[in-house]
């Protein structure tokens, strides 16, 4: 991350300080658009109201940081690693009340955000990445990157094509050093799992992981646990079958949770996958401001992929009034894109995602996936046959 160790130290120090953004007096008077960098180096555009929102958010982050540090002081540095209470699993009589209390405390804390300085350590532990890494030799990642160096595959060619298009203009990612680190992570994983190989969208996910995690190797393991354990299988395979299933599940959930919006969009002949496919493939990293995206990821790495449905539904719900008076598909897309671009306050988004959308269990979503899988596979099979038929006609 950010090149040399000294640059990394500077970045972490900046995260710890969480600077207050101060627009110039001219910007305040004219209320014009201002540009500034967020905690992770991305250029953000907004008006003075947006700057004020970001400052309020950063003050909340400071307060949360004090809570986390106080818990580390009283309970120990790794208190959150005690066995947690998994959804849908009955409590054993031997489970200590202190463990249950810690699990409840941790869930509440994560919903309010993990402090940036603690985020790499907490993510790596709670996501299962540390456990996954411990099952292989310490030299696994270095050995892998050396073994695949210089090898050319369709995946490596696509990765090389996508590197300069991944967050262009970022002060570290869009440099030879940043491109090289991102390439090693993506190419390494493409050889680890040949079924996935590489899929567009993973470049944005891996890039943001590189900015958050302390080391390139840790970013690789976070990507591995994300694709192998956290997300639904086959989301990033060649035919994107898992992603198609997620889109069908999301459409059903939109109908159940936001029936008026779903009915209006259907009348407009608007397919929600036009916007939601990118949300799910990039895990919102290309749509939401980085600090908001990472708050979503805080929950993702602890509670699993159901948070993606909560957040996607919340984005529609937040703009229900505006969406219901649209007359064109283009208007719907513009509203949703503008909404995600300026969602600087993660609490606004997550409050709607959970309080207004209501409960959705992992088990319920899993049943919906199983229900949709046959139709998706039949559709993909039909598409493949059509493609093969066209190729045969061309010969």
**Mean pLDDT for each 10-residue chunk of the chain (395 residues)?**
46 50 47 82 87 88 92 87 48 54 87 94 95 97 97 97 97 97 98 93 98 96 97 88 94 97 98 96 96 97 96 98 97 97 95 93 91 91 79 65
Nearest to 280 by CA among 316, 318, 306: 306
Q: What is the pTM of this model?
A: 0.88
- Contact predicate 361/87, CB 8 Å: yes
In the chain, CATH 1.10.8.270 sits at 128-230
Q: Report d(CA 348, CA 182) in Å as an integer.
A: 32
pLDDT for res 80: 83
pLDDT of residue 17: 52
Question: Contact 197/152 with Cβ under 8 angstroms?
Answer: no
CA distances from 313 to 107, 250, 270, 329 (A): 21, 8, 15, 18
- Considering the domain delimited by 234-394, tell me its CATH architecture: Orthogonal Bundle (1.10)
Domain 128-230 has CATH 1.10.8.270: yes
Helix (H) or strand (E) holding 55: helix 48-75
Smallest CA-to-CA distance from 10 within 39, 53, 42 is with: 39
Question: Coil, helix or strand for 45?
Answer: strand
Count Cβ atoms within 10 A of the Cβ of residue 185 and give its class: 0-12 exposed, 13-18 middle, 19 or more buried.
buried
CATH 1.10.472.80 boundaries in the chain: 234-394
Collapsing DSSP to helix, strand or coil, 330 comes out as helix
Instruction: Give the C-alpha separation, 73 to 86, whole Å.
Output: 26
DSSP 84-127: P--TT-PPPTT--HHHHHHHHHHHHHHHH---TTTHHHHHHHHT
Residue given tokens 């969009």 in the structure block: 265
Dist. CA 54–CA 292, nearest whole Å: 10
pLDDT on residue 393: 67
């Amino acid at each position: 991350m950010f090149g040399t160790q000294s640059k990394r130290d500077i970045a972490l120090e900046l995260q710890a300080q969480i600077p207050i953004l101060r627009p110039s007096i001219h910007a305040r008077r004219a209320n014009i658009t201002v540009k500034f960098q967020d905690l992770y180096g991305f250029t953000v555009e907004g008006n003075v109201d947006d700057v004020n929102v970001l400052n309020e958010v950063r003050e909340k982050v400071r307060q949360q940081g004090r809570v986390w540090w106080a818990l580390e002081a009283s309970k120990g540095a790794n208190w959150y690693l005690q066995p947690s209470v998994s959804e849908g699993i009955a409590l054993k009589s031997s489970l200590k009340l202190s463990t249950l209390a810690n699990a409840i405390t941790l869930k509440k804390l994560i919903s309010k955000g993990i402090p940036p300085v603690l985020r790499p350590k907490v993510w790596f532990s709670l996501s299962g990445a540390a456990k996954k890494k411990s099952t292989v030799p310490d030299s696994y990642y270095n050995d892998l990157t050396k073994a695949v160096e210089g090898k050319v595959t369709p995946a490596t060619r696509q990765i090389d094509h996508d590197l300069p298009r991944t967050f262009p203009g970022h002060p570290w990612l869009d440099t030879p050093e940043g491109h090289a680190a991102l390439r090693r992570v993506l190419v390494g994983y493409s050889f680890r799992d040949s079924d996935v190989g590489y899929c567009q969208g993973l470049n944005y996910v891996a890039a943001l992981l590189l900015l958050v995690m302390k080391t390139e190797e840790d970013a690789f393991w976070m990507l591995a646990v994300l694709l192998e354990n956290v997300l639904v299988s086959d989301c990033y395979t060649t035919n994107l079958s898992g992603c198609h299933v997620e889109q069908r599940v999301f459409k059903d959930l939109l109908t159940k949770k936001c029936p008026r919006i779903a009915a209006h969009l259907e009348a407009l002949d608007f397919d929600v996958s036009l916007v939601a496919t990118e949300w799910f493939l990039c895990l919102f990293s290309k749509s939401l401001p980085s600090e908001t995206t990472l708050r979503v990821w805080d929950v993702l790495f602890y509670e699993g992929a159901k948070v993606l449905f909560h957040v996607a539904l919340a984005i529609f719900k937040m703009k229900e009034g505006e969406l219901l008076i649209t007359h064109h598909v283009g208007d719907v897309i513009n509203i949703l894109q503008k909404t995600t671009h300026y969602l600087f306050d993660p609490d606004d988004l997550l409050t709607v995602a959970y309080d207004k959308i209501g409960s959705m269990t992992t088990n319920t979503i899993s049943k919906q996936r199983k229900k949709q899988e046959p139709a998706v596979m039949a559709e993909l099979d039909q598409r493949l046959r059509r493609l093969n038929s066209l190729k045969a006609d061309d010969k």
